[in-house]
Structure 1
Protein backbone atom coordinates (compact mmCIF):
# COMPACT_ATOMS: atom_id res chain seq x y z
CA UNK A 1 0.00 0.00 0.00
CA UNK A 2 2.83 2.41 0.91
CA UNK A 3 4.52 1.80 -2.44
CA UNK A 4 1.22 2.35 -4.24
CA UNK A 5 0.59 5.62 -2.41
CA UNK A 6 4.12 6.82 -3.17
CA UNK A 7 3.60 6.04 -6.85
CA UNK A 8 0.30 7.92 -6.91
CA UNK A 9 1.86 10.93 -5.15
CA UNK A 10 4.78 10.91 -7.61
CA UNK A 11 2.41 10.90 -10.60
CA UNK A 12 0.35 13.74 -9.09
CA UNK A 13 3.50 15.78 -8.46
CA UNK A 14 4.62 15.34 -12.06
CA UNK A 15 1.18 16.49 -13.26
CA UNK A 16 1.13 19.59 -11.03
CA UNK A 17 4.72 20.71 -11.70
CA UNK A 18 4.14 21.94 -15.27
CA UNK A 19 1.15 24.00 -14.11
CA UNK A 20 3.24 25.64 -11.38
CA UNK A 21 6.00 26.40 -13.85
CA UNK A 22 3.47 27.96 -16.23
CA UNK A 23 2.17 30.25 -13.49
CA UNK A 24 5.61 31.32 -12.27
CA UNK A 25 6.97 31.75 -15.78
CA UNK A 26 9.87 29.33 -15.23
CA UNK A 27 9.42 27.62 -18.58
CA UNK A 28 7.15 30.20 -20.16
CA UNK A 29 7.89 31.37 -23.68
CA UNK A 30 7.05 34.73 -25.16
CA UNK A 31 3.63 34.63 -26.78
CA UNK A 32 3.27 34.85 -30.54
CA UNK A 33 2.14 38.47 -30.14
CA UNK A 34 5.13 39.34 -27.96
CA UNK A 35 7.51 37.71 -30.41
CA UNK A 36 5.96 39.77 -33.21
CA UNK A 37 6.46 42.98 -31.20
CA UNK A 38 10.13 42.09 -30.67
CA UNK A 39 10.75 41.51 -34.38
CA UNK A 40 8.75 44.53 -35.53
CA UNK A 41 10.50 46.92 -33.13
CA UNK A 42 13.97 45.52 -33.87
CA UNK A 43 13.57 45.68 -37.64
CA UNK A 44 12.09 49.18 -37.47
CA UNK A 45 15.05 50.34 -35.38
CA UNK A 46 17.42 48.64 -37.80
CA UNK A 47 15.63 50.13 -40.81
CA UNK A 48 15.23 46.82 -42.66
CA UNK A 49 11.92 47.61 -44.33
CA UNK A 50 11.78 44.52 -46.55
CA UNK A 51 11.92 42.16 -43.58
CA UNK A 52 9.71 44.50 -41.59
CA UNK A 53 6.86 44.12 -44.09
CA UNK A 54 6.97 40.35 -43.65
CA UNK A 55 6.95 40.66 -39.85
CA UNK A 56 4.08 43.15 -39.95
CA UNK A 57 2.05 40.51 -41.77
CA UNK A 58 3.15 37.92 -39.23
CA UNK A 59 2.15 40.22 -36.37
CA UNK A 60 -1.34 40.66 -37.77
CA UNK A 61 -1.68 36.92 -38.28
CA UNK A 62 -0.52 36.39 -34.67
CA UNK A 63 -3.46 38.47 -33.46
CA UNK A 64 -1.97 41.92 -32.92
CA UNK A 65 -4.51 44.62 -33.75
CA UNK A 66 -3.78 47.42 -36.19
CA UNK A 67 -3.63 49.90 -33.30
CA UNK A 68 -1.21 47.71 -31.31
CA UNK A 69 1.18 47.56 -34.24
CA UNK A 70 0.81 51.28 -34.92
CA UNK A 71 1.55 51.93 -31.23
CA UNK A 72 4.67 49.75 -31.42
CA UNK A 73 5.91 51.68 -34.45
CA UNK A 74 5.18 55.01 -32.75
CA UNK A 75 6.92 53.80 -29.57
CA UNK A 76 10.08 53.20 -31.62
CA UNK A 77 10.49 56.91 -32.35
CA UNK A 78 11.32 57.63 -28.69
CA UNK A 79 14.47 55.54 -29.08
CA UNK A 80 15.36 55.50 -32.79
CA UNK A 81 13.89 58.83 -33.91
CA UNK A 82 11.08 59.99 -36.16
CA UNK A 83 12.68 58.85 -39.47
CA UNK A 84 12.77 55.16 -38.49
CA UNK A 85 9.32 55.31 -36.91
CA UNK A 86 7.71 57.06 -39.87
CA UNK A 87 9.30 54.66 -42.36
CA UNK A 88 7.88 51.83 -40.28
CA UNK A 89 4.41 53.40 -40.33
CA UNK A 90 4.62 53.92 -44.09
CA UNK A 91 5.56 50.26 -44.53
CA UNK A 92 2.59 49.27 -42.37
CA UNK A 93 0.24 51.38 -44.49
CA UNK A 94 1.44 49.49 -47.56
CA UNK A 95 0.95 46.12 -45.84
CA UNK A 96 -2.61 47.01 -44.82
CA UNK A 97 -3.45 48.17 -48.34
CA UNK A 98 -2.11 44.92 -49.80
CA UNK A 99 -4.05 42.82 -47.29
CA UNK A 100 -7.25 44.79 -47.92
CA UNK A 101 -6.85 44.22 -51.65
CA UNK A 102 -6.78 40.49 -50.90
CA UNK A 103 -10.01 40.77 -48.94
CA UNK A 104 -8.35 40.56 -45.50
CA UNK A 105 -9.99 42.79 -42.90
CA UNK A 106 -7.77 43.14 -39.85
CA UNK A 107 -9.05 44.13 -36.41
CA UNK A 108 -8.47 47.81 -35.65
CA UNK A 109 -8.43 47.37 -31.89
CA UNK A 110 -8.86 49.74 -28.96
CA UNK A 111 -7.71 53.35 -28.91
CA UNK A 112 -5.76 54.78 -25.97
CA UNK A 113 -7.95 55.62 -22.98
CA UNK A 114 -8.36 59.29 -22.00
CA UNK A 115 -6.00 60.45 -19.26
CA UNK A 116 -7.81 61.12 -16.00
CA UNK A 117 -6.60 63.07 -12.97
CA UNK A 118 -5.11 66.48 -12.34
CA UNK A 119 -1.48 65.56 -11.65
CA UNK A 120 1.14 67.21 -13.83
CA UNK A 121 2.71 65.22 -16.65
CA UNK A 122 6.00 65.28 -14.75
CA UNK A 123 4.44 63.69 -11.67
CA UNK A 124 2.58 61.12 -13.76
CA UNK A 125 5.75 60.24 -15.65
CA UNK A 126 7.78 59.98 -12.45
CA UNK A 127 5.18 57.65 -10.95
CA UNK A 128 5.29 55.39 -14.01
CA UNK A 129 9.10 55.31 -13.98
CA UNK A 130 9.08 54.46 -10.27
CA UNK A 131 6.74 51.56 -11.07
CA UNK A 132 8.97 50.31 -13.88
CA UNK A 133 12.10 50.53 -11.74
CA UNK A 134 10.37 48.93 -8.76
CA UNK A 135 11.34 51.70 -6.34
CA UNK A 136 10.85 55.47 -5.93
CA UNK A 137 13.64 57.62 -7.34
CA UNK A 138 13.83 60.50 -4.87
CA UNK A 139 17.56 61.18 -4.69
CA UNK A 140 19.40 64.13 -6.26
CA UNK A 141 19.94 64.09 -9.99
CA UNK A 142 23.23 62.59 -11.13
CA UNK A 143 25.04 61.88 -14.39
CA UNK A 144 23.40 63.14 -17.56
CA UNK A 145 20.32 64.28 -15.60
CA UNK A 146 22.44 66.64 -13.52
CA UNK A 147 24.51 67.68 -16.54
CA UNK A 148 21.43 68.53 -18.65
CA UNK A 149 18.40 68.73 -16.32
CA UNK A 150 16.00 69.55 -19.15
CA UNK A 151 16.37 66.06 -20.65
CA UNK A 152 15.28 64.54 -17.35
CA UNK A 153 12.12 66.64 -17.57
CA UNK A 154 11.55 65.57 -21.17
CA UNK A 155 11.96 61.92 -20.18
CA UNK A 156 9.45 62.14 -17.36
CA UNK A 157 6.87 64.28 -19.17
CA UNK A 158 7.08 62.89 -22.67
CA UNK A 159 8.52 59.37 -22.67
CA UNK A 160 6.97 58.06 -19.47
CA UNK A 161 3.78 60.20 -19.40
CA UNK A 162 2.86 60.92 -23.01
CA UNK A 163 4.00 57.54 -24.36
CA UNK A 164 4.18 54.87 -21.64
CA UNK A 165 0.88 56.05 -20.15
CA UNK A 166 -1.00 55.12 -23.33
CA UNK A 167 -2.67 51.80 -22.58
CA UNK A 168 -2.83 50.42 -26.13
CA UNK A 169 0.28 48.44 -25.10
CA UNK A 170 1.06 47.11 -21.63
CA UNK A 171 4.27 48.01 -19.78
CA UNK A 172 5.53 44.51 -20.59
CA UNK A 173 4.90 44.99 -24.30
CA UNK A 174 6.48 48.45 -24.27
CA UNK A 175 9.60 47.15 -22.54
CA UNK A 176 9.91 44.32 -25.05
CA UNK A 177 9.61 46.89 -27.83
CA UNK A 178 12.18 49.09 -26.10
CA UNK A 179 14.91 46.47 -25.67
CA UNK A 180 14.25 45.30 -29.21
CA UNK A 181 14.68 48.69 -30.84
CA UNK A 182 17.75 49.37 -28.69
CA UNK A 183 19.23 46.09 -29.92
CA UNK A 184 18.30 47.07 -33.46
CA UNK A 185 20.06 50.44 -33.44
CA UNK A 186 23.07 49.21 -31.43
CA UNK A 187 25.72 51.17 -29.55
CA UNK A 188 23.46 52.01 -26.59
CA UNK A 189 24.55 49.33 -24.13
CA UNK A 190 23.90 51.28 -20.87
CA UNK A 191 20.31 51.95 -21.90
CA UNK A 192 19.82 48.34 -22.98
CA UNK A 193 21.14 47.12 -19.63
CA UNK A 194 18.77 49.44 -17.77
CA UNK A 195 15.74 48.29 -19.74
CA UNK A 196 16.64 44.60 -19.44
CA UNK A 197 16.51 45.13 -15.67
CA UNK A 198 13.13 46.82 -16.08
CA UNK A 199 11.94 43.85 -18.13
CA UNK A 200 12.58 41.63 -15.11
CA UNK A 201 10.76 44.15 -12.88
CA UNK A 202 7.61 44.02 -15.03
CA UNK A 203 7.45 40.22 -14.99
CA UNK A 204 9.40 39.08 -18.02
CA UNK A 205 11.32 35.96 -17.03
CA UNK A 206 15.04 35.25 -17.66
CA UNK A 207 14.01 32.50 -20.06
CA UNK A 208 11.84 34.90 -22.01
CA UNK A 209 14.73 37.38 -22.23
CA UNK A 210 16.95 34.61 -23.58
CA UNK A 211 14.26 34.00 -26.18
CA UNK A 212 14.27 37.74 -26.96
CA UNK A 213 17.99 37.54 -27.76
CA UNK A 214 17.31 34.55 -29.98
CA UNK A 215 14.69 36.55 -31.87
CA UNK A 216 17.18 39.39 -32.35
CA UNK A 217 19.67 36.88 -33.71
CA UNK A 218 17.19 35.38 -36.17
CA UNK A 219 15.57 38.65 -37.28
CA UNK A 220 18.43 41.14 -37.56
CA UNK A 221 21.61 39.08 -37.29
CA UNK A 222 24.12 37.17 -35.19
CA UNK A 223 26.41 40.19 -34.90
CA UNK A 224 23.63 42.39 -33.54
CA UNK A 225 22.68 39.73 -30.99
CA UNK A 226 26.16 39.47 -29.44
CA UNK A 227 25.95 42.64 -27.38
CA UNK A 228 22.41 41.99 -26.07
CA UNK A 229 23.45 38.46 -25.08
CA UNK A 230 26.52 39.72 -23.23
CA UNK A 231 24.54 42.42 -21.43
CA UNK A 232 21.75 40.00 -20.53
CA UNK A 233 24.31 37.56 -19.09
CA UNK A 234 25.65 40.37 -16.88
CA UNK A 235 22.17 41.41 -15.76
CA UNK A 236 21.13 37.86 -14.85
CA UNK A 237 24.45 37.21 -13.08
CA UNK A 238 23.90 40.29 -10.93
CA UNK A 239 20.54 38.90 -9.78
CA UNK A 240 22.04 35.72 -8.33
Structure 2
Protein backbone atom coordinates (compact mmCIF):
# COMPACT_ATOMS: atom_id res chain seq x y z
CA UNK A 1 0.00 0.00 0.00
CA UNK A 2 1.56 3.36 -0.98
CA UNK A 3 2.35 5.83 1.73
CA UNK A 4 0.03 8.82 1.77
CA UNK A 5 1.71 10.72 4.60
CA UNK A 6 5.04 12.45 3.99
CA UNK A 7 6.53 11.68 7.41
CA UNK A 8 9.93 13.06 6.45
CA UNK A 9 8.41 16.31 5.28
CA UNK A 10 6.33 16.66 8.42
CA UNK A 11 9.37 16.07 10.58
CA UNK A 12 11.37 18.62 8.60
CA UNK A 13 8.57 21.18 8.97
CA UNK A 14 8.52 20.54 12.71
CA UNK A 15 12.28 21.08 12.86
CA UNK A 16 12.15 24.28 10.82
CA UNK A 17 9.27 25.74 12.80
CA UNK A 18 10.66 24.74 16.19
CA UNK A 19 14.35 25.49 15.69
CA UNK A 20 14.23 28.41 13.29
CA UNK A 21 10.85 29.86 14.14
CA UNK A 22 10.62 29.32 17.90
CA UNK A 23 14.09 28.80 19.34
CA UNK A 24 16.52 30.79 17.21
CA UNK A 25 14.35 33.90 17.54
CA UNK A 26 14.87 33.91 21.30
CA UNK A 27 17.58 36.13 22.79
CA UNK A 28 17.93 34.92 26.38
CA UNK A 29 21.19 33.06 25.72
CA UNK A 30 24.18 34.50 23.95
CA UNK A 31 25.31 32.66 20.83
CA UNK A 32 28.13 30.96 22.73
CA UNK A 33 25.81 29.96 25.57
CA UNK A 34 23.39 28.43 23.09
CA UNK A 35 26.25 26.63 21.34
CA UNK A 36 27.42 25.22 24.70
CA UNK A 37 23.91 24.01 25.58
CA UNK A 38 23.46 22.35 22.19
CA UNK A 39 26.90 20.73 22.24
CA UNK A 40 26.40 19.29 25.73
CA UNK A 41 22.91 17.99 25.04
CA UNK A 42 23.65 16.52 21.61
CA UNK A 43 26.83 14.83 22.81
CA UNK A 44 24.84 13.14 25.59
CA UNK A 45 22.30 11.62 23.22
CA UNK A 46 22.75 8.21 21.52
CA UNK A 47 22.67 9.77 18.04
CA UNK A 48 24.38 8.08 15.10
CA UNK A 49 27.53 9.70 13.73
CA UNK A 50 26.02 10.87 10.44
CA UNK A 51 23.22 12.71 12.20
CA UNK A 52 25.62 14.21 14.73
CA UNK A 53 27.88 15.43 11.91
CA UNK A 54 24.88 17.09 10.27
CA UNK A 55 23.75 18.73 13.50
CA UNK A 56 27.25 19.97 14.29
CA UNK A 57 27.57 21.11 10.69
CA UNK A 58 24.66 23.48 11.30
CA UNK A 59 26.58 24.97 14.23
CA UNK A 60 29.67 25.36 12.05
CA UNK A 61 27.58 27.22 9.49
CA UNK A 62 26.32 29.48 12.26
CA UNK A 63 29.91 30.41 13.10
CA UNK A 64 30.72 28.41 16.23
CA UNK A 65 34.28 28.85 17.42
CA UNK A 66 36.04 25.47 17.03
CA UNK A 67 38.03 26.06 20.21
CA UNK A 68 34.84 26.53 22.22
CA UNK A 69 33.32 23.39 20.71
CA UNK A 70 36.36 21.24 21.43
CA UNK A 71 36.68 22.54 25.01
CA UNK A 72 33.03 21.76 25.75
CA UNK A 73 33.14 18.30 24.18
CA UNK A 74 36.30 17.38 26.10
CA UNK A 75 34.60 18.51 29.32
CA UNK A 76 31.67 16.22 28.56
CA UNK A 77 33.88 13.15 29.09
CA UNK A 78 33.38 13.61 32.83
CA UNK A 79 29.60 13.42 32.51
CA UNK A 80 28.64 11.28 29.53
CA UNK A 81 31.70 9.01 29.42
CA UNK A 82 34.75 8.92 27.18
CA UNK A 83 33.22 6.97 24.25
CA UNK A 84 30.35 9.40 23.69
CA UNK A 85 32.56 12.45 24.22
CA UNK A 86 35.19 11.12 21.82
CA UNK A 87 32.54 10.23 19.24
CA UNK A 88 31.08 13.73 19.51
CA UNK A 89 34.52 15.31 19.13
CA UNK A 90 35.21 13.18 16.06
CA UNK A 91 31.84 14.18 14.62
CA UNK A 92 32.52 17.85 15.21
CA UNK A 93 35.91 17.60 13.52
CA UNK A 94 34.29 15.89 10.56
CA UNK A 95 31.67 18.63 10.42
CA UNK A 96 34.32 21.34 10.66
CA UNK A 97 36.59 19.63 8.11
CA UNK A 98 39.57 20.31 10.30
CA UNK A 99 42.63 18.19 10.85
CA UNK A 100 42.78 16.98 14.45
CA UNK A 101 45.44 18.97 16.28
CA UNK A 102 48.47 17.22 17.68
CA UNK A 103 48.44 17.58 21.44
CA UNK A 104 51.69 18.41 23.16
CA UNK A 105 51.10 16.18 26.17
CA UNK A 106 53.12 17.28 29.18
CA UNK A 107 54.12 14.82 31.85
CA UNK A 108 51.83 15.35 34.84
CA UNK A 109 51.74 13.23 37.96
CA UNK A 110 48.55 11.69 39.29
CA UNK A 111 48.87 13.93 42.35
CA UNK A 112 49.06 17.02 40.15
CA UNK A 113 46.03 15.85 38.17
CA UNK A 114 44.09 15.31 41.41
CA UNK A 115 45.06 18.71 42.83
CA UNK A 116 44.10 20.41 39.57
CA UNK A 117 40.78 18.57 39.65
CA UNK A 118 39.77 19.55 43.16
CA UNK A 119 40.92 23.14 42.59
CA UNK A 120 38.88 23.42 39.40
CA UNK A 121 35.84 21.72 40.91
CA UNK A 122 35.92 23.99 43.95
CA UNK A 123 35.01 26.83 41.59
CA UNK A 124 31.62 25.14 41.19
CA UNK A 125 31.16 23.95 44.77
CA UNK A 126 33.80 24.29 47.46
CA UNK A 127 32.33 21.53 49.65
CA UNK A 128 31.81 18.94 46.91
CA UNK A 129 34.92 16.89 47.62
CA UNK A 130 34.23 16.69 51.37
CA UNK A 131 30.61 15.73 50.72
CA UNK A 132 31.57 12.98 48.27
CA UNK A 133 34.29 11.68 50.60
CA UNK A 134 31.84 11.55 53.50
CA UNK A 135 29.22 9.71 51.44
CA UNK A 136 31.39 7.26 49.51
CA UNK A 137 34.95 7.41 50.85
CA UNK A 138 34.73 4.20 52.84
CA UNK A 139 33.14 2.38 49.91
CA UNK A 140 34.97 3.69 46.85
CA UNK A 141 37.88 5.92 47.83
CA UNK A 142 39.91 4.96 44.77
CA UNK A 143 36.99 5.79 42.50
CA UNK A 144 36.81 9.27 44.02
CA UNK A 145 40.54 9.74 43.39
CA UNK A 146 40.05 8.74 39.77
CA UNK A 147 37.02 11.02 39.47
CA UNK A 148 38.92 14.11 40.51
CA UNK A 149 41.98 13.20 38.46
CA UNK A 150 39.67 13.09 35.46
CA UNK A 151 38.30 16.51 36.41
CA UNK A 152 41.89 17.71 36.48
CA UNK A 153 42.30 16.47 32.93
CA UNK A 154 39.15 18.10 31.54
CA UNK A 155 38.16 20.98 33.82
CA UNK A 156 41.50 22.63 34.42
CA UNK A 157 42.48 22.57 30.73
CA UNK A 158 39.46 24.50 29.43
CA UNK A 159 39.75 28.17 28.52
CA UNK A 160 35.98 28.73 28.48
CA UNK A 161 34.19 30.83 31.14
CA UNK A 162 32.83 28.78 34.01
CA UNK A 163 29.17 29.87 33.57
CA UNK A 164 29.30 28.75 29.94
CA UNK A 165 30.74 25.38 30.93
CA UNK A 166 28.06 24.91 33.60
CA UNK A 167 25.34 25.55 31.04
CA UNK A 168 26.86 22.83 28.87
CA UNK A 169 27.03 20.46 31.82
CA UNK A 170 23.41 20.90 32.92
CA UNK A 171 22.23 20.53 29.32
CA UNK A 172 24.19 17.29 28.96
CA UNK A 173 22.93 15.85 32.25
CA UNK A 174 19.34 16.82 31.44
CA UNK A 175 19.56 15.19 28.02
CA UNK A 176 21.36 12.14 29.41
CA UNK A 177 18.59 11.32 31.88
CA UNK A 178 18.91 9.19 35.01
CA UNK A 179 21.23 11.68 36.69
CA UNK A 180 18.85 13.73 38.82
CA UNK A 181 21.16 14.27 41.86
CA UNK A 182 24.06 15.29 39.64
CA UNK A 183 21.81 17.56 37.58
CA UNK A 184 20.52 19.27 40.71
CA UNK A 185 24.09 19.70 41.99
CA UNK A 186 25.24 21.29 38.75
CA UNK A 187 22.17 23.50 38.54
CA UNK A 188 23.18 24.78 41.97
CA UNK A 189 26.74 25.21 40.72
CA UNK A 190 25.51 27.12 37.69
CA UNK A 191 23.45 29.46 39.87
CA UNK A 192 26.41 29.94 42.20
CA UNK A 193 28.71 31.09 39.39
CA UNK A 194 26.20 33.58 38.01
CA UNK A 195 24.00 31.71 35.55
CA UNK A 196 20.52 33.16 35.92
CA UNK A 197 17.39 31.12 36.44
CA UNK A 198 16.08 32.42 33.15
CA UNK A 199 19.11 31.16 31.25
CA UNK A 200 18.76 27.73 32.86
CA UNK A 201 15.13 27.58 31.78
CA UNK A 202 16.21 28.63 28.30
CA UNK A 203 18.76 25.81 28.26
CA UNK A 204 15.99 23.36 29.13
CA UNK A 205 13.84 24.75 26.33
CA UNK A 206 16.64 23.63 24.00
CA UNK A 207 16.84 20.30 25.82
CA UNK A 208 13.13 19.81 25.08
CA UNK A 209 13.87 20.26 21.39
CA UNK A 210 16.95 18.01 21.44
CA UNK A 211 16.03 15.30 23.96
CA UNK A 212 12.26 15.53 24.36
CA UNK A 213 9.68 16.95 26.73
CA UNK A 214 10.20 14.45 29.60
CA UNK A 215 13.90 15.29 29.84
CA UNK A 216 13.18 19.01 29.85
CA UNK A 217 10.42 18.88 32.48
CA UNK A 218 12.45 16.57 34.68
CA UNK A 219 15.18 19.21 34.52
CA UNK A 220 12.68 21.87 35.61
CA UNK A 221 11.80 19.70 38.61
CA UNK A 222 15.48 19.63 39.58
CA UNK A 223 15.76 23.40 39.10
CA UNK A 224 12.85 23.93 41.50
CA UNK A 225 14.43 21.55 43.99
CA UNK A 226 17.80 23.31 43.72
CA UNK A 227 16.15 26.67 44.36
CA UNK A 228 14.13 25.30 47.28
CA UNK A 229 17.23 23.85 48.89
CA UNK A 230 18.84 27.27 49.16
CA UNK A 231 21.27 27.40 46.25
CA UNK A 232 23.23 30.59 45.79
CA UNK A 233 20.81 31.76 43.14
CA UNK A 234 20.58 35.29 41.80
CA UNK A 235 17.69 37.00 43.58
CA UNK A 236 15.72 37.82 40.44
CA UNK A 237 14.46 35.76 37.56
CA UNK A 238 16.53 37.62 34.97
TM-score calculated relative to the size of structure 1: 0.71
Q: Deviations over 1:168-222 (max 9, x none)?
A: 3222222222112111221011111111111011110111111111110122211
Give the secondary-structure state (helix, strand or coil) at the position aligned to 1:129.
helix
The match for 1:79 is 79
**What are the ranges of 5 or more consecutive residues in structure 1 without an aligned counterpart?**
1-27, 101-107
RMSD: 3.2
The match for 1:197 is 188
Larger Rg: 1
Q: How does 1:35-114 map to 2 (within 5 A)?
A: 35-49=34-48, 52-97=52-97
CA separation of 1:140 and 1:190: change in aligned 2, threshold 3 A: closer
In 2, are the aligned partners of 1:183 and 1:216 still within 8 Å (CA)? yes
- Counterpart CA distance in 1 for 2:113 and 2:175 is 29
The match for 2:170 is 179
Q: How does 1:4-23 map to 2 (within 5 A)?
A: none
Give the secondary-structure state (helix, strand or coil) at the position aligned to 1:148.
helix
CA separation of 1:31 and 1:131: change in aligned 2, threshold 3 A: same
In 2, are the aligned partners of 1:40 and 1:55 still within 8 Å (CA)? no
Q: 1:143 aligns with which of 130, 135, 143?
A: 135
- Counterpart CA distance in 2 for 1:188 and 1:176 is 16
The match for 1:164 is 155
In 2, are the aligned partners of 1:164 and 1:174 still within 8 Å (CA)? no
Give the secondary-structure state (helix, strand or coil) at the position aligned to 2:133.
coil
CA separation of 1:152 and 1:34: change in aligned 2, threshold 3 A: same
The match for 2:5 is none
Q: 2:222 aligns with which of 217, 231, 238?
A: 231
**What are the ranges of 5 or more consecutive residues in structure 2 without an aligned counterpart?**
1-26
Q: Deviations over 1:90-121 (max 9, x none)?
A: 32233123xx8xxxxxxx9xx99x899xx833
- Counterpart CA distance in 2 for 1:57 and 1:42 is 15
In 1, are the aligned partners of 2:121 and 2:155 still within 8 Å (CA)? no
CA separation of 1:181 and 1:145: change in aligned 2, threshold 3 A: farther
- Counterpart CA distance in 2 for 1:59 and 1:45 is 16
Displacement of 1:54: 4.3
The match for 2:14 is none
Deviates more, 1:162-171 or 1:62-71: 62-71
- Counterpart CA distance in 1 for 2:201 and 2:131 is 33
Q: 2:200 aligns with which of 206, 209, 214?
A: 209
How many residue pairs get matched? 201
Deviates more, 1:65-74 or 1:37-46: 65-74
The match for 1:30 is 29
TM-score calculated relative to the size of structure 2: 0.72
Give the secondary-structure state (helix, strand or coil) at the position aligned to 1:141.
helix
Deviates more, 1:54-63 or 1:75-84: 54-63
